[in-house]
Amino acid sequence: MAVSRPLFIVRADAERPLASMFDRGIVHAAPPLAGATTLRFARELVACLGGQVLDTRHEPLEAAIEQNDSTIVIVSVPEPRTAAWLSDVGEPLVRSSSVPILFVPEVEGASP
């Protein structure tokens, strides 16, 4: 899963209508990522579509999705990506997420 620009994943069997996909987004960043670039990107994108973004960058992801009734999860991806991130965060999320996922590259050391 090479990500040098945002990557959007939507399941064919999505439970919610696609029209409401950006209603309630959450942002996630697995340590050591700060997720500042991803949070900024998410806020700008979702604002254009009339939705809201919640900053849940360092909360447990599954709980954040459920507690906030999220319609999309926007995830920071290390750039360059690492095998540890891919096996611990990326692949499990793709396999298990019930909501669409937008992966956003987070360049290490990028200013907030």
Residue 108 pLDDT level (bands cut at 50, 70, 90): low
Interval 80-93: pLDDT, tens: 888 999 999 999 99
The domain spans of the chain are 26-107
Higher pLDDT, 111 or 51: 51
Tokens of 32: 């050591």
Residue 46 pLDDT level (bands cut at 50, 70, 90): very high
Considering the chain, what percentage of its residues have pLDDT values greater than 70? Answer: 92
Q: Would the pLDDT of 111 be above 50?
A: no
DSSP state at residue 20 = G
pLDDT of residue 19: 81
Do 9 and 94 meet the contact criterion of CB atoms below 8 Å apart?
Answer: yes
On the CB side of 60, how many CA atoms lie within 13 Å of its CA? 4
User: Under DSSP, is residue 19 helix (H, G, I), strand (E, B) or coil?
Assistant: helix
pLDDT of residue 112: 44
Kindly tell me the burial class for residue 103, based on how many C-beta atoms sit within 10 Å of its own C-beta (0-12, 13-18, 19 or more).
buried
Q: Would the pLDDT of 52 be above 50?
A: yes
Do 91 and 61 meet the contact criterion of CB atoms below 8 Å apart?
Answer: no
